[in-house]
Structure 1
Amino acid sequence: MAFVAVVLLAYRLGAIPESSDVVVIKEQLIKLEKQSWEAWKNRDGKFFQDFLSDDHVEVGFGGVSNKAEIVSFVGSPVCTVKSYQLNQFELKMLDKNTALLTYREAQDTVCHNPVPSPCWVSSLYMKRGDRWLNVLYQQTEIHK
């Protein structure tokens, strides 16, 4: 019973968005995530300059990277993205300004060697001002 009271209080204080708000947030973040994949495919580093937070961290197959490294890497001709598929999106609101988007991706990408695929993705967003920014991105290969 105490748990129910805490959850109700959190909703009243606005710590957790109401369900209709969560649906809108999920749609916004899925749209941003899909735009980031198109930007990755098109080597659009400028998109990532605006999409990533200044304190962004990416945990990938090559290790840990920061925003500047990602922007430079995406804009370079090192990788060729032939195709990708994104599905099974789930959203977990951690508070009203922090959201964890998880999903499955499969891609046909070569960066000297084929990129591991398919993967589960964790993409953490924080609302800063009036914008959702990506603060953490991580992939885990799905072993077949």
Structure 2
Amino acid sequence: MKRTIFGLIILLLTSPFAFGQEEETEQEIIELSKNKWQWMAEKEGDKLAELFDDKAVFVHMGGSWGKEREVDIIRSGGIWYKNAEIHKVSVKLINDTAILLNRITLTAEVGGNEVTNPFEVTEVYIKKADGWKLAALSFTKLIGAGNH
């Protein structure tokens, strides 16, 4: 009985710390995502190459590919992410993995044509020894009214 009570006391004392730490991590991931959108808009290939895990995957309306091709496309302006207007963001933490969902309106230049589309963007980050790395980025185009 004493062990159970002691265990409950420890759990109650550490829960606020754990919750505060989780909230802090969620904010860190949200800021990292915001920085990523800015770096994409500014074609900051070196910063993105550092953020993207070497095994990262990127899923777009036109196909999927890895880190090297994504960075090359951004550097060359093949896709120029001019502005990502973020309407809603959420983060779920599972151990050393963070799943961020962004509901955005993306204005981009693709093949010389400016396009604006509503997307739900899934970003998966993994915690590594040298910090958080983006492991997956997937765009899902939203159809219909009320996309924001």
TM-score by length of 1: 0.81
Cα distance in 2 between the residues matched to 1:103 and 1:77: 23
Is 1:101 the counterpart of 2:100 in the alignment? yes
Partner in structure 2 of residue 85 of structure 1? 85
Letter of the 1:131 counterpart: G
- What's the RMSD between the two structures over aligned residues? 2.0
Q: How does 1:8-87 map to 2 (within 5 A)?
A: 18-87=18-87
Q: Percent identity?
A: 22
Cα distance in 2 between the residues matched to 1:37 and 1:55: 20
Contact 1:80 1:110 in 2 (8 A): yes
How far the C-alpha of 1:116 sits from its partner, in A, is 5.7
Residues 81 and 101 of structure 1, relative CA distance in 2, 3 Å threshold: closer
Contact 1:116 1:141 in 2 (8 A): no
Letter of the 1:59 counterpart: V
Residues 54 and 80 of structure 1, relative CA distance in 2, 3 Å threshold: closer
What residue ranges of structure 1 are gaps of 5+ in the alignment? 1-7, 12-16
Letter of the 1:79 counterpart: I
Letter of the 1:135 counterpart: A
**Alignment size in residue pairs:** 129
Residues 130 and 81 of structure 1, relative CA distance in 2, 3 Å threshold: closer
Cα distance in 1 between the residues matched to 2:31 and 2:118: 20
Deviations 1:99-136 (A, max 9, x none): 10111111221212444611001100000014000001
Cα distance in 1 between the residues matched to 2:57 and 2:43: 19
How far the C-alpha of 1:143 sits from its partner, in A, is 0.5
Partner in structure 1 of residue 109 of structure 2? 110
Cα distance in 2 between the residues matched to 1:28 and 1:141: 26
Bigger shift: residues 110-119 or 128-137: 110-119
Partner in structure 1 of residue 133 of structure 2? 133
Letter of the 1:101 counterpart: L
Greater Rg over alpha carbons, structure: 2
Contact 2:91 2:98 in 1 (8 A): yes
Cα distance in 2 between the residues matched to 1:29 and 1:73: 24
SS at match of 1:43: coil
Cα distance in 1 between the residues matched to 2:21 and 2:78: 39
Letter of the 1:27 counterpart: Q
